[in-house]
Amino acid sequence: MAQVDPLLPLDAGAVRHAFDDDREADTFALRLKRYGPELQESLRAVYGDQIGALLPELLEVMLHAFHTRPADLKRLDEARLLRPDWLQQPDMVGYVAYADRFAGTLRGVQDHVPYLEGLGIKYLHLMPLLRPRDGENDGGYAVADYRAVRPDLGSMDDLSALAADLRGRGISLVLDLVLNHVAQEHDWAQQARAGDPIYRDYFHLFPDRSGPDQYERTLPEIFPDFAPGNFTWNDEVEGWVWTTFNTYQWDLNWSNPAVLREFVEIILYLANRGVEVFRLDAIAFLWKRPGTDCQNQPEVHHLTRALRACARIVAPAVAFKAEAIVAPAELIHYLGTRDHHGRVSDMAYHNSLMVQLWSSLASRNVRLFEEALRAFPPKPTNTTWGMYVRCHDDIGWAVSDEDAARVGLSGPGHRHFLSDFYSGEFPGSFARGLVFQHNPQTGDRRISGSCASLAGLEAALDAGDPRQTDLAVRRILLLHAVTLGFGGVPLLYMGDELALLNDPDYGDTPEHALDNRWVHRPRMDWVRAQEVMADPSTPHGRVNAGLRHLIAARRGLAHLHASVESRPVDSPDPCVLLLRRDHPQGVLLGVYNFSEHTINFPAWALRDQLGPQALDHLAGSAFTFGHAPVVLDPYRALWLTAAP
């Protein structure tokens, strides 16, 4: 296979000798010409003159992956190039699950794909399933082998078969790609412990405490309860290893270009197995710089852009999702600003939306919600948000002191209130949650718990209170109405469509006992699921039927294409959130009552946005905005467009 001088023009002639088929040669060369300059520019910004050796190696990796890419995936590549906004469509609804909790094995997941299809799912994120270390493994995020599946789930062939089945039904497979660290049992770490200088350079190793102590001055602790500090002594290495998250997770040295080359190979290998979206885990932590918190460094975005360019050349059907739980001013960089605009990740988590949903639900006040959304700069129009009510993780109260101050709140005080409220300690709270990772020094108290239990359904059912049960169901559906009506990709966490409650027995599994996040990671009860779907009159059945209705309504609304942003509109009532979307087909106004009270909402506030008449796409009802107020029932949601 002929090599290409990376400094020569990237035209068809430069790669033709690597192909027997002229059409495939042209396809690869055209993509190389399109994305090659971006690749070189970002690599040079990070690695300088080292790219002279790196680029030929990357080209060999890409050519091999292109030649071995299955024909049906190459057809998908062409389809996605013709419809680059596939991830932004209103019918794009996601589902997030642990494969074993959902159906035992990958073949079990495949058996239940019709369930997902019936729910309207187009995007399935299976939580970490690549082979982790044995025993404690941070929920699967301590990967020991990126090219193997957990043995209890099946094989890599099972994964490919599942991906093919999903693809045939129009559902994209999403997997986690842990970029910041590997398990200490990974082959790279084993070679490093054995003294191989090549692999020692894959990690951050220090012979004494001088280096770690310098970094620790500005580094936060991620898990202060069970993994204090950021460095771990290792006898075999005879030094300190950088371990941001847990002692058994070794941070990778991305300043070594060999690490980038390894991950290009991994991404393209998994893409050829049928993975369509990569969740770039812990991406904010990749680059280490003394005197900083070692998050959100500029090199992170160059590295992402380089990885994306390689994926676009070989497998343009693939998309990246940034798992960056950071402040809005930093988050926008993961979707791209300036030279990176729209050229890094295709999607990022809108963690702030989730936090503000629960904040407004507890306070019955949307002023902080409005202020937080205003803090977000516009995203590139070719990117999208991933929104969720709950996820596999705890809820960290990411409320900035500045946003809180602008609405007359104390940031620390409000965060303290939210922790009290959702742990059930606040008087009158409807929530059943657990405090996770209390840090006495900072006052930080995160919260674990399922959507239904945090929204009050567990407490209401235990009390046998029909009114509180009704209100809890309404709260759950309101939260999902906001995420489904926000634009982007709404992500349903497994079991939320059935209003599954906290798992009281999570601690019976020894490796889960010290991590109460497993309280909201129950196993799917398929008998119970059939019962819930069969009876929409029960509280759980009402949630299921209501969610299915919301998904169907979303699917028919072009206004929810993710190229358009939702922006807050001043509301005359502090309990009611107004979100406006300016789409070429007209304005869509989301109206959300975050209180248990019936509200007489001023008609003029809606008339100013929509004109004298409107249609609600959730209830199918028409409104004429005159002098009489619009009556909003407790936790009512409206998706309004101007009447034709």
Strands 347-349 and 319-322, by their bridges, are parallel
| Counts of helices then strands in the chain (DSSP H, E) | 24, 25
SS3 for 623?
Answer: strand
Please state, in angstroms and rounded to a whole number, the distance separating the CA atoms of residues 494 and 115.
12
Q: What is the DSSP string of 275-331?
A: --EEEEETGGGS---TTS-S-S-HHHHHHHHHHHHHHHHH-TT-EEEE-----HHHH
Please state, in angstroms and rounded to a whole number, the distance separating the CA atoms of residues 625 and 643.
11
Which among 77, 158, 251, 281 is annotated as catalytic? 281
What tokens does 269 get? 């290998």
Nearest to 524 by CA among 104, 159, 140: 104
Buried/exposed 243-278: b ≥16 CB within 10 Å, e otherwise: bbbbbbbbbbbbbbbbbbbbbbbbbbbbbbbbbbbb
Q: What is the 3-state secondary structure (H, E, C) of 517-545?
A: HHHHCCCCCHHHHHHHHHCCCCHHHHHHH
Q: Are 617 and 557 in contact (CB under 8 A)?
A: yes
| Phi-psi sector, 634: left (phi>0), alpha (psi -120 to 50), beta | beta
User: Is residue 371 flagged as an active site residue?
Assistant: no
Which among 185, 265, 276, 323 is annotated as catalytic? 323
Please state, in angstroms and rounded to a whole number, the distance separating the CA atoms of residues 362 and 397.
13
Residues 6 or more apart from 517 whose CB is under 8 A from it?
A: 139, 392, 393, 394, 436, 448
User: Is residue 265 flagged as an active site residue?
Assistant: no
- Active site (catalytic) residues: 281, 323
